[in-house]
Structures are given as structure tokens and as C-alpha cells.
Amino acid sequence: MTVLIGYVPTPVGEAALEAGLVEAAAHGDDAVILNSPRRGSTVDANLVGPEAEARLVAAAAERGVTASVDHAEHGADIVDAFSTAIERTGARLVVIGLRRRSPVGKLVMGSDAQRLLLELDAPVLAVKPAR
């Protein structure tokens, strides 16, 4: 089985990575780390390079987890990127990180995390970074 981990190089992404690798190790699963750039973006600060990718795979290996990094591009909708990755990998679980935001901020700006929780067909584990 596979655990799909949504990752960006931020404390939120690190929290998702840690929780996802713990979950994968506990159940003997592989991990796919989804670091998906927006299609057509020439510069994306959230896209990990080869060195960071090697660090992610090594962090998984330290926990006995076989991992790969998926850089599949997405259009305007990140939910599509996750749905496609779930279909491609057969993921049994999706792990995402949550930012700490006020209810008003969520109402005004919307939330990709909320949409992932509501729209994905796989179970979703949502984690927050430590304060």
C-alpha cells in the first residue's frame, strides 16, 4: 500500500512529511511525496530541487520506508493533482499539513486543505506543525 504525502518546504510541509512517514513505517507502506508545481510556473519556491528530494528520500529510508517524490504539475486545481496521484499510486491514505489561520481568513480566502478533506475519495490525515 502507499501513503501519499503533500509536501512543500515549510513547517507545515515538514509536519505532513513526518506524520506521513510515521504512518507508512507503522503499516509497512511505501510513501509518495507529492510536491506539485503549478503548470506553467517558471519559478516556484515550493518546488524541491534534486538535493532536497534526496533528503526527503533519505529521511524516509531512515524510517525503513521506500519513498519517491512526485513532481506532477497541476493546473489551477490542486485537488485534481491529488486525485490523479491517488489513482496512479493506489494510495490508501493522504497526509496534508494545515496552516494555522483564523476562521475569517479561511472564509475570505478559502482553503485548499478544506477542499482536499471534502473532495478526495481517500482518507485524509491533516496535521499542524508544533507551535
The top-level CATH class assigned to 2-127 is alpha beta
Q: Specify the range with the lowest mean pLDDT, choosing from 9-18, 23-32, 39-48, 75-84.
A: 39-48
Closest CA to 122 of 91, 77, 85: 91
Distance, CA of 102 to CA of 119 (rounded, Å): 22
Tell me the pLDDT tens digit for each residue of 22-71. Answer: 999 999 999 999 998 665 555 555 678 889 999 999 999 999 999 999 98
> Nearest-5° angle of CA 111, CA 114, CA 115?
90
More confident residue, 72 or 12: 12
Cβ partners under 8 Å of residue 84, min gap 6: 72
What number of other Cβ atoms are within 10 A of residue 3's Cβ? 28
Domain boundaries, the chain: 2-127
pLDDT at res. 103: 66
- Tell me the per-residue pLDDT of 97-125, one tens digit each, with 9 for 90 and over: 988 766 665 554 457 888 899 999 999 99
